[in-house]
């Protein structure tokens, strides 16, 4: 079986990571400045946590969360409605031959982090962790 760098299990390339981070910064700036002329979208304070690009750099998926965490579904719909203008604004700031098509998803990283903290604070988990630390010390 032949494998290439896009085979399952390989992570994103350095170029994908670099382009994703460049798009994340540009998108954050556009949204923070209110460059999009949509009052519904501009009433949100938006955090762009990450942007992942496809291997061919034609699709960029932005993981976003509204400040306060409420109204996520409405935010995704508003971003999708304005994705053409967002793409145009980002394209003006970037030095790419083609600006990727934008897709938007809710960033659930913060929710998972809160759940992890809650789990680690439970008494039985703390007791297990203390027991593991004692075993490692021996």
Backbone angles phi, psi at 104, to 5 degrees: -130, 135
Tokens standing for residue 132 = 């593991």
Q: What predicted TM-score, i.e. pTM, was given to this entire model? A: 0.72
- How far, rounded to the nearest angstrom, does the alpha carbon of residue 117 sit from its chain's CA centroid? 21
1-107 CATH choice from 3.40.50.720, 3.30.470.10, 3.30.300.20, 3.40.50.150:
3.30.300.20
Instruction: Note down pLDDT in tens along the chain; length 138 residues.
Output: 444 444 455 788 999 999 999 999 999 999 999 999 999 999 999 999 999 999 999 999 999 999 877 788 999 999 999 999 999 999 988 877 889 999 999 988 766 666 666 777 777 777 777 766 566 665
Closest Cα to residue 52, out of 86, 20, 13, 98? 20
**HSE-up of residue 113 (Cα within 13 Å, Cβ side):** 4
> 90 near 30, Cβ under 8 Å?
yes
């Amino acid at each position: 079986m032949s494998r290439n760098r896009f085979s399952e299990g390989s992570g994103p390339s350095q170029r994908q990571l670099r382009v994703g981070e460049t798009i994340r910064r540009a998108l954050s700036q556009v949204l923070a400045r209110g460059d999009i002329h949509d009052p519904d979208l501009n009433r949100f304070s938006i955090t762009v946590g990450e942007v992942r690009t496809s291997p061919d750099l034609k699709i960029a998926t932005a993981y976003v969360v509204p400040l306060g965490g409420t109204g996520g579904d409405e935010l995704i719909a508003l971003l999708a409605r304005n994705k053409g203008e967002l793409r145009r604004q980002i394209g003006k700031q970037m030095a790419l031959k083609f600006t990727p098509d934008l897709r938007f998803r809710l960033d659930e990283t913060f929710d998972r982090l809160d759940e992890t903290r809650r789990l680690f604070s439970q008494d039985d988990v703390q007791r297990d962790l203390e027991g593991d630390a004692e075993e490692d010390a021996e």
